[in-house]
Chains A and B, each alone.
Chain A
Amino acid sequence: KQEVTQIPAALSVPEGENLVLNCSFTDSAIYNLQWFRQDPGKGLTSLLLIQSSQREQTSGRLNASLDKSSGRSTLYIAASQPGDSATYLCAVSSGNQFYFGTGTSLTVIP
């Protein structure tokens, strides 16, 4: 069974810092990997989708990479802002399901 792990569970950084969030998965047979953002009391907002044949995707200050062979993905956030404070979840589609990590809670301190 696919297992998805996100470390660290929580991260606090000063505004302006570049940061990396990590996602690892145990089974490399995936269709795609998706990064989401969740604000308190809200739904999950899709940030980036990386197909299994791709290595990375970029959107504004966000860059996500995928290394299937090692079972890892990273979400790079450049020049962090207080508005980036949220929980970030990754999900892999594998077999017949989406498998979610438990998320990294990010706080960007002004």
Chain B
Amino acid sequence: DAGVIQSPRHEVTEMGQEVTLRCKPISGHNSLFWYRQTMMRGLELLIYFNNNVPIDDSGMPEDRFSAKMPNASFSTLKIQPSEPRDSAVYFCASSLGGGHTGELFFGEGSRLTVL
């Protein structure tokens, strides 16, 4: 299997622009997670889906952030409008099993820079 695939790997944009990050989980995995990593705050869970349904979005920082999972093989994380404080590495991860009981596999991340 190719593992969790994220795109783009790097994104540089200007404040106010819309950013869309994409994720393809490992085939057969039914849980998908979006994390954000910064030096200051470490890894933060933004949202997670189980069987394509959002289960916990309490980590989404504000209404500018939204995530969708239209099918089992694709998810997006959108930021609109983007702000400099959104600069971070965004990771997608997937696992097999309900909730947080399975082994977690991460993608390579999308490094976002908002100028």
Hey, which bits of chain A sit against chain B, CB under 8 A? 31-32, 34, 36, 41-46, 49, 89, 91, 93-98, 100, 102-103
Min CB distance, B3 to chain A, in Å?
A: 9
Stretch from B14-22, B62-70, B72-80, B100-108 that touches the partner: B100-108
Q: Within 8 Å CB of A98, what residues of B?
A: 33, 45, 100, 104
Contact of B109 among A43, A91, A95 (CB under 8 A): A43
Are A43 and B103 in contact, CB atoms less than 8 angstroms apart? no
Q: Within 8 Å CB of B107, what residues of A?
A: 43
Are B109 and A93 in contact, CB atoms less than 8 angstroms apart? no
Are A31 and B108 in contact, CB atoms less than 8 angstroms apart? no
Pair count A-B, CB < 8 A = 47
Are A45 and B100 in contact, CB atoms less than 8 angstroms apart? no
Alpha-carbon gap, A41 to B33, bound state (A):
19
Q: Within 8 Å CB of A91, what residues of B?
A: 104
Alpha-carbon gap, A25 to B93, bound state (A):
22
Are B106 and A31 in contact, CB atoms less than 8 angstroms apart? no
Whether a CB of chain A sits under 8 angstroms from the CB of B91 is yes
Contact of A44 among B99, B100, B101, B106 (CB under 8 A): B106
Given the interface pairs A43-B91, A43-B108, the reply to whether A100 lies near B42 with Cβ below 8 Å is yes
